[in-house]
Structure 1
């Protein structure tokens, strides 16, 4: 990664320029048996499409607050980077009534209705599938995102010192987020080419860092596991071996 990268979106651009074909996020859901692997290029394409949806169709602007009601999931990671690309503040688990728009999984739709702004729902089905019946009052992400552009340019440049993320009651700027991610990577021994397996949720900084930001800052990749507690010790050991995991968090 480049020393001049000051936002997570910068880190993603550098990763794309360095090696677009390498894995970035490998996602498992041990409740459904789903496995998805996204290269840097594929992940960046999803981020671009989502950022275009956010900026264009949803009319989001830098400084707007987005309540992100999603579990640890590859699509959650996409939304976090899309928010950063636009300059929207991602409030992880934040109160929808205080947000300008909300992005919700299938289990938090009733809570998400408290948002008076734009509402987007994700079914979180395998392969990014749509809802069988779109939830009332929401745009279905899987319906809206495929037609978005594959390249993204913000209408307004994102200021590195502007707010980027709220998690656990703490607000971080883009630059502070990158700095903390780099510190975490050094502390955990995550380096270029590392494979980090984590079962932590995305509701804390520790989970977000281990499951996305630290690896992105270090040129590493993540094996992100949802419902990891359903896996036996033997099955976990097999996954560590098959995925060439170098660090488990």
Structure 2
């Protein structure tokens, strides 16, 4: 990774320049049987489209606060990097009433309605599917994002010393986030090409770091798992072998 990277978006750009074809996020939901694998290039394309939606359609600006009401999921990872690309503060599990806009999963729609700004809903269905009936008062992410541009350029440069992430009472600038992610990667023993299996939720820094930022900072990849307890006997060992996992965070 590039030592000059100072925001999560910088880390993604460096990963894209180094090896766009390698896996970055492999996602499992063992309650539904879903498996999604995103290369660096595919993930970056989702991030670009989402950042264009955020900046262009939702009129988000650097410093705006986005309440992110989503579980550990590959689409959550996309939103985190899209926020970083625009300069929006991703407030994970934050108060929608205090946010400029909100992004919600299907289980938090009632709480998300407290936001007086733009509201986006994700069905979190396999293959990024849309809601059968769009929730009233929300834009359906799966409907809005496909038409967005594949390249993104922020209207204003993102300041790495401005707030980028808030989670569980912790607030970090982009530069602080990258520094912590690098330190966590070293602590987890992640080197370039490492594959980290993680089933931690995204409601703490430890979960976000192991589930996205530390593997990205190390030049590795994450196998992000939900409902891992649904695997039968020996299932975890088989997944570790089949996914060529080199480290775990549980």
RMSD: 0.5
Q: Which moved more, 1:233-242 or 1:90-99?
A: 233-242
State how far apart, in whole Å, the 1-side matches of 2:164 and 2:42 are: 23
Give 1:229 shift: 1.5
Alignment of 1:72-83 (within 5 A): 72-83=72-83
Give the TM-score of the pair, scaled to structure 2.
0.99
State how far apart, in whole Å, the 2-side matches of 1:233 and 1:243 are: 17
Give 1:160 shift: 0.5
Name the SS of the counterpart of 1:44 in structure 2.
helix
State how far apart, in whole Å, the 2-side matches of 1:233 and 1:244 are: 19
Deviation by residue 1:197-246 (Cα, 9 ceiling, x = unmatched): 01100000000000000000000000000111111340111000000000
Q: What residue in structure 2 maps to residue 236 of structure 1? A: 236
Name the SS of the counterpart of 1:223 in structure 2.
strand
> Does residue 57 in structure 1 map to residue 40 in structure 2?
no
Name the SS of the counterpart of 1:37 in structure 2.
strand
Name the SS of the counterpart of 1:152 in structure 2.
coil
Q: How many residues are paired up?
A: 249
Q: What residue in structure 2 maps to residue 131 of structure 1? A: 131
Q: What residue in structure 2 maps to residue 24 of structure 1? A: 24
Gaps of 5+ in 2: none
Gaps of 5+ in 1: none
Q: What residue in structure 2 maps to residue 163 of structure 1? A: 163
Q: What residue in structure 2 maps to residue 227 of structure 1? A: 227
Q: What residue in structure 2 maps to residue 46 of structure 1? A: 46
Name the SS of the counterpart of 1:135 in structure 2.
coil
Q: What residue in structure 2 maps to residue 120 of structure 1? A: 120
Runs of 4+ aligned residues of structure 1 deviating over 6 Å after TM superposition are none
Q: What residue in structure 1 maps to residue 71 of structure 2? A: 71
State how far apart, in whole Å, the 2-side matches of 1:56 and 1:163 are: 21
